[in-house]
């Protein structure tokens, strides 16, 4: 069994509210959510950062990010959508598996994100995931 929490989510060993999945990528709600609609987009393969992936996988992650970000905008209509990523021990990371945080933002949120984040609970995460999945389907239909 892997010790990496995101590898365990990919393997289905830890529950997650998944919004998108393809051959290279999985996107799910962050349990430590800063704002409603906060999604983590992660690679399926264990790699610490984007530049440890092969180019095709890196491109696939980019494509998933674009789709998921647009679906979050459609579902939550935030005033901003921030993209955060850091990697490695020296960046204070706890999970060493490439992931991007997509955080819906409001004008009065302030510059710094609140941390530790709130834990909205599984029902709330599932409801947020369902709203994003619906928006993804609508966007796919419109393509």
Binding site for ligand AMP (CB under 6 A): 5, 14, 16, 28, 30-32, 40, 93-95
Choose from ligand AMP, Zn ion, none: what does 7 bind? Cβ within 5-8 Å by kind: Zn ion
Rounded (10°) CA dihedral 119, 121, 127, 130: 80
Rounded least distance, CB 101 to ligand AMP, Å: 6
Residue 125 to residue 37: CA distance in whole angstroms: 8
**6 is an interface residue for Zn ion by CB under 5 A:** yes
> Interface residues for Zn ion in 96-115 (CB under 5 A)?
97
At how many degrees (to 10) do helices 55-76 and 122-142 cross? 100
Contact 31, 118 (CB under 8 A): no
Q: One symbol per residue from 14 to 53: x for binding Zn ion (CB under 5 A), - otherwise; what is it?
A: --------------------------------x-------
């Amino acid at each position: 069994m892997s010790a990496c929490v995101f590898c365990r989510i990919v393997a289905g060993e830890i529950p997650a509210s998944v919004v998108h999945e393809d051959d290279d990528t999985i996107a799910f709600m962050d349990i430590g959510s800063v704002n409603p609609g906060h999604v983590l987009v992660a690679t399926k393969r264990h790699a610490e950062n984007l530049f440890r992936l092969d180019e095709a996988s890196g491109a696939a992650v980019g494509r998933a990010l674009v789709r998921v970000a647009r679906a979050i905008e459609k579902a939550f209509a935030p005033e901003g959508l921030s993209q955060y990523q850091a990697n490695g021990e020296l960046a204070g990371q706890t999970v060493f598996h490439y992931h991007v945080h997509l955080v819906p933002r409001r004008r009065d949120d302030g510059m710094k994100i609140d941390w530790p984040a709130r834990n909205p609970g599984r029902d709330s995460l599932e409801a947020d995931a369902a709203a994003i999945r619906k928006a993804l389907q609508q966007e796919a239909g419109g393509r």
